[in-house]
Amino acid sequence: MMPTWRLLVTEATDGATNMAIDEALWRGRQAGTSPPTVRFFAWEPPTVSLGYGQRLDAAVDVAACQRLGVGLVRRPTGGSAIYHDGPERELTYSVVASNDDLGVAADLLETYRWIAVALLRGLRALGAPAEIVAVPDSEGPAPAFCFARTGRYEIEIGGKKVVGSAQRWRRRCFLQHGSVLLGVDEPRLRAVFPTTRDPLATMTTLEAALGQRPKFDDVAAALTTAFEEEHGLTLRPGGLTPEETARVEALVKDKYAAEAWLAGAA
């Protein structure tokens, strides 16, 4: 019998709510009250998310974000900053599970690989000539902009990064976020990352690869099928439980919408 996971597709919402949802799912999985879950979502308004341990400094232009109506939030996962957009330009995924759910060792790279092979299958089903980067060309201090460098088991097209991912573990359970670029708002991207010399030099989009921008729903469907076929899962559509919803509301108020959390002081 194939393992059953929850598939959660949520409407585009603000950064604080998006991050609170994922932490609520993650906490629920740790407690055994939430099932392993794959979520697809987008952002309204467009938002810059900072990595868990990343400094909020001049690498992100806060004044430009305010002027352009771009939100700011700090993720519960690591990595570097990402400019997130609405469903017309981006699909963001999250995976919440334990290593036992995946049937692999409690190893960050192994769980990255498990997710990456499913993402790769879905992107190729859409016609994108995507490749997994098992060993990146360079390592060292993380750049401020996530798409400035490809990490292990991230995905490129034509040598340029198209999916950026970040992960964090707690109690043998992990939360992984990833941004799948459908298109790009180049002026906003350049404005909010003023110290990144040429953000487009190291990144690409599905629109560039395919010659047309795929729809959010089509990409979500392709990735759903890919996770099921690659790993022998059944992804059953569902929603948040009342307990998860209450936890989301508390996390928005007490954490993700708070200035102290954004500043990195919480």
2-47 pLDDT, tens per residue?
689 999 999 999 999 999 999 999 999 999 999 999 999 999 999 9
Percentage of the chain exceeding pLDDT 90? 71
The domain limits of the chain are: 4-251
Q: What does the pLDDT look like over 162-174, one tens digit per residue?
A: 998 889 998 889 9
Q: What does the pLDDT look like over 42-62, one tens digit per residue?
A: 999 999 999 988 888 888 999
Q: 63-67, 79-83, 131-135, 246-250: lowest mean pLDDT where?
A: 131-135
Distances (CA, A) of 15 to 70, 118, 157, 222, 236: 10, 26, 27, 25, 25
Q: Which is it for the CA torsion 110, 120, 95, 146, positive or negative? A: positive
The answer to whether 208 and 128 are in contact (CB under 8 A) is no
Mean pLDDT (whole number) for 218-240: 97
pLDDT of residue 228: 97
237 three-state secondary structure:
strand
- What is the rounded distance in angstroms from the CA atom of residue 129 to the CA atom of residue 133? 13
Residue 146 annotated in active site: yes
Mean pLDDT (whole number) for 229-244: 96
pLDDT at 153 over 90: no
pLDDT of residue 180: 96
Residue of 38, 82, 146, 208 with catalytic role: 146
The DSSP bridge partners found for residue 163 are 155, 180
The model's pTM is: 0.93
Confidence of residue 208 (pLDDT cuts 50, 70, 90): very high
pLDDT of residue 140: 53
Q: What does the pLDDT look like over 85-130, one tens digit per residue?
A: 999 999 999 999 998 999 887 677 789 899 999 999 999 999 999 9
pLDDT of residue 198: 86
52 three-state secondary structure:
coil
Task: Give me the CATH code for the 4-251 domain, please.
Answer: 3.30.930.10
pLDDT of residue 145: 47
SS (H, E, C) 178-231: EEEECCCCHHHHHHHCCCCCCHHHCECCHHHHHCCCCCHHHHHHHHHHHHHHHH
pLDDT of residue 136: 60
Mean predicted lDDT score pLDDT of the chain: 90
More confident residue, 150 or 82: 82
